[in-house]
Amino acid sequence: MWGMKIALGSDHAGFRLKEHIRDHVESSSHTCKDFGVFSEASADYPDIAAFVTAAVQSGEYDCGILICGTGIGMSIAANKNTGIRAALCGQGYSAKCAREHNDANILAMGSRVIGPGLALEILDLFLSTPFAGGRHENWLHKIQELEAGNARTRPSQD
């Protein structure tokens, strides 16, 4: 996809990789807004996840990128927000499937887990892969039902 608006954020552990990613995005057809952090001083990753997810929820941004040490905290925090489908990816196949199958709107990565070259490879796949739709639509609808508190919580034979 071309010309996407991306919301970007990290905690202190992800700061350097975020800077690297921002440079990469700025040299592409996409644009990004950096929601911080702006130094390696200790920061609370749920705060940054809240900024980036709100930006995506508002519709002003097409997708978000969140980076912390492992990517785990950011993905957990991001997925607490309605309509957010954050995917923690450590290799390209997951990034491709996160878009194709899950229509993920946030990419989470761990700066202590992957190097900068792999991070850009994952990012480029995430940004260039469209949602496949079809049978995946029904499963996304069921996730919406979970969010709304409408999901069946026991197997039907109970």
Catalytic residues, which ones?
A: 68, 101
Beta bridge partners of 10: 67
Question: Is 52 an interacting residue with respect to ligand RB5 (CB under 6 A)?
Answer: no
Instruction: Select 78 or 127, whichever has its Cβ closest to ligand RB5.
Output: 78
Cis preceding-peptide flag for 37 (omega within 30 of 0): yes
Gap between the Cα atoms of 86 and 42, Å rounded: 23
Instruction: Select 46 or 92, whichever has its Cβ closest to ligand RB5.
Output: 46
**Identified binder of ligand RB5 from the candidate list 7, 13, 49, 63, rule CB under 6 A:** 13
Q: Which residue is nearest to ligand RB5 (CB)?
A: 73
**Identified binder of ligand RB5 from the candidate list 37, 68, 104, 125, rule CB under 6 A:** 68
C-alpha dist (Å) from residue 40 to 17, 36, 94, 121: 11, 10, 28, 24
Question: Is 102 an interacting residue with respect to ligand RB5 (CB under 6 A)?
Answer: no
Question: Is 61 an interacting residue with respect to ligand RB5 (CB under 6 A)?
Answer: no
Across 79-109, b (16+ Cβ under 10 Å) vs e yields: bebeebbbbbbbebebbbbbbbbbbbbbbbb
Name the site residues for ligand RB5 (rule: CB under 6 A).
11, 13, 45, 68-70, 72-73
